[in-house]
Amino acid sequence: MRYLVTAGPTREFIDDVRFLSNASSGRMGCALARAAKDAGGRVTLVYGAIAGAPPECDRLVPVTSAEEMRNAVIEHAARADAIIMAAAVADYRPAERTPGKIKKSADELVLRLARTPDILAELGRQKGGRILVGFALEAENARENALQKLREKDLDLIVVNSPAAMGADRASVELLFASGESEELADFPKSEIAARIIRAVETLKVNPQGSTDGPSRTADPGS
């Protein structure tokens, strides 16, 4: 299978030395790229400012901003059988980038923010026969919000996690499938979570409506 995986945070620059970002380390995305490669896949990894070196892949595409990530993902999406969007893409960017360095001149500095591209929604609209996997980092109403995202963006699988997963080596996640199945993985190494996701993707590619071949409990897509 041909995989397109994204990893790490984006950086949205305020001026030439300051930026908005988040605490993502990219460990989950890199673990997914590794697991896909170990499973015999051909892997393109589009990655932001990850912690450490990227894993060995067939193609490595470094990016900085959400716009750059969007352009790279769209460029390579057509050649993928499965797309796994594990990157922590910034939802907002500064509406204007100031050249040089903003000088300290007042007690307050007000930034006007603009929305960044919704890459996952765009992929869902042009999905075709590809398997599309998204992530939902939720602080509250996690399952409800993730199921809404699953439906609205035409995903085959969404991985629900919490802010505690940011930068950590282990995580607790729930896999929610478009079929209505689900699976909880509590306090697992990210490498094991990644391997399970890749097995699920391979099963979905063969039988999109079938079992995910793992422990499950029924999700309520209409909740």
Query: Could you tell me the CATH number of the domain that includes residue 197?
Result: 3.40.50.10300
pLDDT recorded at residue 59: 98
* Identity of the amino acid at 101: K
Query: What are the structure tokens assigned to 124, written together?
Result: 């869902």
pLDDT recorded at residue 213: 56
148 domain residue, yes or no: yes
pLDDT recorded at residue 107: 80
Q: Check: CB of residue 20 under 8 Å from CB of residue 14.
A: yes
Query: What are the structure tokens assigned to 32, written together?
Result: 């997914």
pLDDT recorded at residue 220: 38
30 domain residue, yes or no: yes
200 domain residue, yes or no: yes
**pLDDT per residue rounded down to tens, the chain (223 residues):** 999 999 999 999 999 999 999 999 999 999 999 999 999 999 999 999 999 999 999 999 999 999 999 999 999 999 999 999 999 999 999 999 999 999 988 788 899 999 999 999 999 999 999 999 999 999 899 999 999 999 999 999 999 998 888 888 899 999 999 999 999 999 999 999 999 999 999 999 887 665 455 444 433 333 3
Which residues are within 8 A (CB) of 5 and not within 5 positions of it... i.e. 6 or more apart? Answer: 29, 32, 33, 36, 43, 44, 45, 46, 83, 84, 86
Query: What are the structure tokens assigned to 112, written together?
Result: 């006007």
The residues annotated as belonging to the active site are 22
Domain containing 146 equals 2-95+114-218
pLDDT recorded at residue 174: 96
Helices and strands (H and E) in the chain: how many: 5, 13
Domain count, the chain: 1
38 domain residue, yes or no: yes
pLDDT recorded at residue 219: 35
